[in-house]
Structure 1
Amino acid sequence: MAEDDAVLRKTIALGLKGRGFAVAQAETGDDALDRFSSEEFDAVLLDAIMPRVDGFEVCRRLRRHDRGQGIPILIITGLDDSAAVKQAYDAGATDFIPKPLRLGILRERLRGLIEASLLEERLRNKRLQFDAIFKSIPSAIIFCRLDQSILLVNPAFSRHFGYRDAEVNNRKAGMLYDDDRVFREHEVAWQQEIEPGRTATYQVNYRRADGSVFIGETTVILVTDETGGVIGWLRIIEDITQRLERERAIAERTAELQAVTEHAPEMVARLDCRGRFLLVNRVLADFFRRQIAEFEGRTGRELQLDAPWDALWEDACRLVREHGSRQIKEVALGEEDRVQTFQALFAPERHEDGEVSTVIAFVRDVSAQKQVERIRIQTDRLDTLGVLAGGVAHDFNNIIGALISSLALIRESIKDQPASAYLDDCRAALDQARYLSRQLMTFSQGGEEPVTDAVDLQRLLKETCQFTVRNRAVKVQHFCDEELWPVEADSGQLVQVISNLLINAEQAMASGGKIETRLGNVALDAQNSLTLPSGRYVKMEIADNGPGVPQEIVDRVFDPYFTTKREGSGLGLATTYAIMKRHGGLISVRSAVGEGATFVCYVPAAQKVQEVPPESRPAEPPAAAGNSEANLVRADAPCVLLMEDQPIIRRGLARLLAPAGYKVIPTASGEEAIKAYEEAERQGTSIDLVILDMAVVEGMGGLEVIQYLRQRRAKLPAIVTSGLWDDPVMREPERFGFNAALCKPYNKAEILEIIGRLQAKNAIASDS
């Protein structure tokens, strides 16, 4: 309150304070302006006539102040003319009150002005809030009168339709429709169907200012005032053109996916980002023994699928959502050799903004693929070991050969002496070493090239069982398909395979048990899981009920030198594997601890069914060669040209042949051998026989030498020697220019026996 009359000022202040008002007093206009700037007030009471700055000027200055624009200002004046009243209102006063004052009237007038000001402030704030909301709504808003003429639009309207406010104000809303006929139908329908306060939603094709058309989802509201009177129509329009296109694309993709999944051999599902099933195919539903409808909108946990399937879907979808890339999971079911492996691929589907929308899952059984991979790894490992074993066997043969030759010479020099018994033991040990070397070579190259014929596998299996299984506590049962196909195989090598498997089974059941053999015809297609060529095979299973093979070592049983027995070389199954591979077949094992072991062989069936040779005993390993050489020594002395790069073997062979009546010219390389032959020709010495090492470390080998010698003398008798007894030269020496082949390590009897055969054929001259 600003009043220059001190008595009146105090009187008014006391009158107002007694009725709940707090009053700040100012004597002049300047004082009032200063206090208003620093304090908060709900109303201002000004005396019109004051010295220096009157009440009218104070009012004008207050209205220019930020906080003075809406505050109630009441001017007290003793002037009663209309000019003073007009001057008060022109200055910005809310009202005026004349002197002399009546305190009751003043109090009520102030209270009313303050309440009105507060109400107006609240209304102003609500209006500002409404304007902010109205302007920020992304959907287009149109308010029309009852006759459908446009009264008000929001800013989003211009973004949707491309019109300015002035271009549509007071025009019918039908101008926005793509089809005026639809607008007229809506006018009639809305008046009949929409009640005040209720809403209705339609899809309408609208036309923009540039002529383009979009689909708008339109919510219509019949608006009423506070008395319930209808005042107009409110339209809220959202452009759903892109949404409908996405929905249509999703529907098309869903239809395509549904068509694909119904014919897919794999399990297929579409899930949302939280792992809820949106679509599954029949394969997936049948796998879980559910109906397709049970999956919709539910997670694996909600469906109570067995572990680990229950959590798989949600976890994988979460990873796809977080990383934005496909995820691959493997699920292994079962135990030990009965494991079934599934591979699940989860791939993201994306919105146009790049966000993951849904996840497509493909689940397939990869158990066969895993089996192929295991077989490939095992084959690669055994092939690598085979190369190593072949190299070791070759070098080992050279060493054994030298020892055998030297031992034979020592044995002859101390005949009838007590030490000869010890030499015989050494010879027996070397024979075992030679057998071991042959096993190594068999493993490395699968044995000699099979000489195949049509073989009755059922007969061969039964006969091999008769002379192999000696333990009476072990019972053997045979099972066989009717009309079993003959197999294309080397019967001798097949006996070795069967014998190895039967001996292993018998030894696994020392206290007794049962062996079961099964034979059956199998036709494999090109997609078989065994990595075998397509065609006809005979499947042979030899199973025992022994202790079985632990899972951690079952993949190693075909490795050379791997054995769980106290006695044994560890080459039996490795050799068996190599022989089956050389035959174009396969051998594998199934086993679990406590459930015995089953060896499964696939042997190629004979391509042409022919009469199987009559029943005969299976081939048995030949007996060891004897030591008698009385019938092999010649009376004359043919000249032998020997080429051997190993000094011990070269000296040993020369010493073995000399007592038998042969003259030996030893050489260490192919070049030396040719030089020695040419020198013998110059001296008139006839070379009656050449013994050539096939492979030497340096220089010309036996093949190059024999080719040269055949040009000089076409019918010169020639023997090729090598530790690589499976080499084509050793299997078919005649094709490469030799008369015979001698495998290292050999003994005196074997070399003399071959020379004797050539002599019997008159290949070697009877006199030197």
Structure 2
Amino acid sequence: MNKQPEVLKIVILYAILGCIWIYLSDSLLIWIVRDPLIIGQVAMFKGLFFIISTSCLLFFLISRLNTKLKRSTSELHKSESHLKTLIQAIPDLVWLKNKDGVYLSCNLEFERFFGAKQSEIIGKTDYDFVGKDLADFFREHDLKAVKAGRPTINEEWITFSDDGHHALLETIKTPVRNNNGELIGILGIGRDITARKQMEDELRESEDKFRLTFSFSPEAININRLEDGLYVDVNDGFSRITGFTRDDVIGKTSLELNIWADVNDRNVLAQELKDKGFYENMETKFRRKDGKLITGLMSAKIITLKGVPHIISISRDISKRKQYERELLKMEKLESLGILAGGIAHDFNNILTGVTGNISLANMHLDATHKSSKPLAAAEKAALRAGELAQQLLTFARGGEPIKKIVSPRHIVEEALSLILHGSNVKEIVDIPDSIHAFKADEGQISQVFHNIIINATHAMPTGGTLTIIGRNETLNDHNKLSLTPGEYLRLIFADQGCGIPGDDITKIFDPYFTTKSTGNGLGLASAYSIITKHGGCINVSSVVGEGTTFTIYLPSLGETYSLDQVNALPLEHNTKIGNSVLVMDDDAIVREIAESMLKHLGYEVTTCVDGDEAVELYKQASKSDTPYYAVIMDLTIPGGLGGKQAAKKILEEFPKAFLIVSSGYSNDSVMSHYKDYGFIGAINKPYSINDFKTVLNSLPR
């Protein structure tokens, strides 16, 4: 225990008592002792006592003050040591300059940052160890703090001359004054914020990228609060796709806006997000602001914004893609049907050729009053109906390309109307001006399309009505909604006033074998779709139940008009070789027999052969005789032998002016539609009749 305070108290008490005693003793001594000598001795003793006691008191006081001074000095040194240690340990730069900019002190971080020791810094200015521009910059901001009279915050880019790298300091500069308010220096504290600044820049750049992506993305992007599904933000793509503006949706939910066509899809999405935190490629239907349904492909993910869970959703309008997929599926169905048709068409048409040919020949030998004439006519009609069905099947077959020539649209329309509406209670209105452009098409196939549409219209108006047919020229640009090649087109509209087509059926009407009629076979509109597509056009349908149906057809046109007389008068570029002998090449014996009978009936001399090799040899031999062949009718497909295409090439190499006619019931390529490209002068489809032979042979120059 420290006893100094107790001793000090005793000394002080003693001194006080001594002083009292001295004061009182003088009066007492004078009053009691009258001897001056004794009084002088006592006074001397009192003086000595006062000096001793006062010295003791001063000794103890000085000792006490010295102890306190030592303690204060020790504590001051300790405090200074702590402060110095603290300043040196601070990860920021700390420095002190006098008012003239001379460094008085700095910490270790300052040394490390500038790569200089304290001895190289103290007593110097910025101009001694950094470039002038940077030193001017430092001095400018030092004076700025002095002028402000308070701490100032700056961001200072430092460029190091040794390696050229950059660093960014965030500095706080404070003017330092003494007790009299006089400026004695500037205290600086700096922090290297290069990495932080880079992170902030990267974050800002990332945010800018997100904002740009969010704002300008063509997809619909929306952010909803997870808790209640409330819309927080949507982009322009959302407004463009859904029709809802930002003001329409912010603060509301999708259920309030009735956006989901099927609410169960929303429930599925919510459950998937709850289980996994994300959902990818959800295909669902959305309801636009105008009530129209669109198909969307949606992905969603849970994100956190300011500590609150949200859902960010990205949706793409795939309505057109779904339409293309339906079209592709439709084409795949037609392709499958085409493969089936292709497999049977060749033999089927050969058989039909035998049937129709024999019936045709039989009728030529019978009087019209013969009792067999009527049954034979009925049989021929049935066979021709079978031929029409086969022709529809062939439309889907690969290689069933149209055999095109220049045709007049008005002529085909009027011909179809006169054939189908004759005697019916359906009124026709034809609005096709003389300025309508002609087009190249397979007249038989296009007639089949018009027939099917007109027949459907009459069936839809059993009690009568009006069928309006409109034709217009139209130019389609590069970005037309029909996805057709840009150019000149013919637009034909067939509008009836019938019962209309229900929504569930209208998407299926072009599917093979789909029909709502008890007597239909479901191939009419399917074949129409295939024919128009193969002609480079498109066919669309719209319908309102109870009001009627409208078919719109686009076909590439020639961009100029042709009258019917012009079409029929188109010249044939062939030689004028005259003859009466015809060579028929076909692998089917029945077809050869029928062809021979028909041609002989027309007055031709006929030679038949089985394949191309034999036809080439026979043609060479006949060319050397007095009776060369006037024409050669060649079957395109010869299983296991040389077909018409290869045989024609061999004949034309030696006899380039030969009249060659290609014949087929089915073809894998486009020879039938582009026969001239292969050297043929004409084409004839199976099953054929006497009139078919007569037409094609009479078209040849003599």
For this structure pair, what is the TM-score category when the shorter chain's length is used for normalisation? 0.5 to 0.7
Match status 1:448 vs 2:441 = no
Deviation per CA, 1:77-102, whole angstroms, max 9, x where unpaired? Answer: xxxxxxxxxxxxxxxxxxxxxxxxxx
Once the two structures are superposed, what CA deviation does each residue of 1:523-575 show, in whole Å capped at 9, x if it has no partner?
Answer: 65545553322445455443334333344443332234443223445443233
Matched, 1:702 2:644: yes
The partner residue of 1:345 within 299, 307, 332 is 299
Instruction: Pick one of 527, 538, 542 that aligns with 1:590.
Output: 542
Q: Deviations over 1:217-263 (max 9, x none)?
A: xxxxxxxxxxxxxxxxxxxxxxx999998787555433433344333
Which residue of structure 2 aligns with residue 530 of structure 1? 482
Query: Which of 418, 424, 443 is the matching residue for 2:377?
Result: 424
Cross-structure match for 1:258: 211
Aligned equivalents of 1:694, 1:374: Cα separation in 2: 35
CA contact (8 A) 2:297 2:317 kept: yes
1:260-299 equivalences under 5 Å are 260-271=213-224, 277-284=231-238, 287=242, 289=244, 291=246, 295=250
Cα displacement (A) at 1:179: 5.0
Tell me the percent identity: 27
Q: Pick the aligned partner of 2:329 from 366, 377, 382.
A: 377
Alpha-carbon spacing, 1:603–1:338, altered in 2? closer, same or farther (3 Å): farther
Identify the residue that residue 65 of structure 1 maps to in structure 2.
none
Aligned amino acid, residue 650 of structure 1? R
Residue 364 of structure 1 and its aligned partner are, at CA, apart by 3.4
Q: 1:311 to 1:346 in 2, by over 3 A?
A: same
**Structure 1 CA distance, aligned partners of 2:535 and 2:619?**
43
Distance 1:173 1:282, change over 3 A: farther
Change (3 A) 1:313 1:503: closer
Deviation digits for residues 162-215 of structure 1, max 9, x if unmatched?
Answer: xxxx9889958995665579xxxxxxxxxxxxxxxxxxxxxxxxxxxxxx9999
2:259–2:286: 8 Å Cα contact kept in structure 1?
no
SS in 1 for 2:313: strand
Q: Structure 1, residues 269-311: CA drift from partner, whole Å, max 9, x if none? A: 345665565543355468575655973xx6736x833252999
Inter-CA distance 526–316: structure 2 relative to 1 (3 Å threshold): farther
Matches within 5 A, 1:482-497: 486=437, 488=439, 490=441, 497=449
Counterpart Cα distance in 2 of 1:558 and 1:442: 14
Q: Which runs of 5+ in 2 are unaligned?
A: 1-74, 97-166, 171-192, 569-578
In the alignment, the residues of structure 1 paired with residue 589 and residue 679 of structure 2 have an alpha-carbon distance, to the nearest angstrom, of: 25
Q: How many aligned residue pairs are there? A: 522
Q: Distance in 1 between matches of 2:95 and 2:425?
A: 102
- Answer yes or no: is the 8 Å Cα contact 1:332–1:342 preserved in 2: yes
Aligned to 1:131: none
Any stretches of 5+ residues in structure 1 without a counterpart?
Answer: 1-147, 152-165, 182-211, 216-239, 620-636, 762-768
CA distance in structure 2 between the aligned counterparts of 1:321 and 1:414, rounded to whole angstroms: 85
Equivalent residue letter for 2:340: L
Please give the alpha-carbon distance, in whole angstroms, between the structure 2 residues aligned to 1:180 and 1:515.
Answer: 98
Partner SS state of residue 641, structure 2: coil
**Aligned to 1:580, what secondary structure does the other structure show?**
helix
CA distance 1:318–1:180, change in 2 (3 Å):
farther
The alpha-carbon deviation at position 701 of structure 1 amounts to 1.8
Helix, strand or coil at the partner of 2:378: helix
Matches within 5 A, 1:306-705: 306-308=258-260, 316=269, 319-320=272-273, 322-323=275-276, 325=278, 327-333=280-286, 339-346=293-300, 360-408=312-360, 418-442=371-395, 444=397, 448-452=402-406, 469=421, 474=426, 486=437, 488=439, 490=441, 497-513=449-465, 515=467, 524-535=476-487, 537=489, 539-591=491-543, 593-594=545-546, 596-604=548-556, 606-607=558-559, 610=560, 612-613=561-562, 641-655=583-597, 664-673=606-615, 688=629, 690-705=632-647
Q: AA paired with 1:669?
A: D
Matched, 1:721 2:669: no
Residues in 1 aligned to 2:620 and 2:239: alpha-carbon distance in whole angstroms: 86
**Is the Cα contact below 8 Å between 2:259 and 2:287 reproduced in 1?**
no
Deviations 1:65-117 (A, max 9, x none): xxxxxxxxxxxxxxxxxxxxxxxxxxxxxxxxxxxxxxxxxxxxxxxxxxxxx
- 1:479–1:517 Cα contact (<8 Å) kept: yes
Tell me, in whole angstroms, the C-alpha distance in 1 between the residues paired with 2:414 and 2:357: 41
Query: In structure 2, do the counterparts of structure 1 residues 538 and 363 end up closer, same or farther at CA, with 3 Å as the change threshold?
Result: farther
Describe the shift of the 1:521–1:261 C-alpha distance in structure 2 as closer, same or farther (beyond 3 A).
farther
Higher relative contact order (CA 8 A, sep 6+): 2
Matched residues in 1 for 2:360 and 2:589: separation? 16
Structure 2 contact 652–658 (Cα < 8 Å) conserved:
yes
Q: Secondary structure at the match of 2:518?
A: coil
SS class of match (1:431): helix
Structure 2 distance, partners of 1:546, 1:650, is 48
The answer to whether the 8 A contact 2:619-2:628 is kept is yes
- Secondary structure at the counterpart of residue 501 of structure 1: helix
- The 1:618–1:464 alpha-carbon spacing in structure 2 relative to 1, beyond 3 Å, is farther
Q: Cα distance, 1:394 vs. partner?
A: 3.0
- Which amino acid is the alignment partner of residue 209 of structure 2? E
Counterpart secondary structure, 1:556: coil
Question: In the TM superposition, what is the alpha-carbon distance from 1:644 to its structure 2 partner?
Answer: 1.8
Quickly say closer, same or farther: Cα 1:168–1:730, change in 2 above 3 A.
same
Q: Give the conservation status (yes or no) of the 8 Å contact 1:347–1:361.
A: yes
Distance 1:324 1:686, change over 3 A: same
* Counterpart-to-counterpart distance in 2, 1:483 and 1:367: 39
Q: What is residue 744 of structure 1 aligned with on the other side?
A: 686
Residue 599 and residue 292 in structure 1: after superposition, are their counterparts in 2 closer, same or farther (change >3 A)?
A: same
Residues in 1 aligned to 2:321 and 2:338: alpha-carbon distance in whole angstroms: 25
The CA deviation at 1:698 is 1.4
Distance (whole Å) between structure 2 residues aligned to residue 463 and residue 409 of structure 1: 28
**Partner Cα distance (1:734, 1:484) in 2:** 30
Superposition CA RMSD, Å: 5.6
CA distance, structure 2, for counterparts of residue 604 and residue 246 of structure 1: 60
Matches within 5 A, 1:21-420: 175=90, 178-179=93-94, 252-271=205-224, 277-284=231-238, 287=242, 289=244, 291=246, 295=250, 300=253, 304-308=256-260, 316=269, 319-320=272-273, 322-323=275-276, 325=278, 327-333=280-286, 339-346=293-300, 360-408=312-360, 418-420=371-373
Query: Closer, same or farther in 2 for the Cα pair 1:250/1:645, shift >3 Å?
Result: same
Q: CA deviation at 1:709?
A: 4.5
Closer, same or farther in 2 for the Cα pair 1:688/1:478, shift >3 Å?
A: closer
The alpha carbon displacement at 1:695 in A equals: 1.6
Change (3 A) 1:476 1:255: farther
State the distance in 1 between where 2:593 and 2:283 align: 64
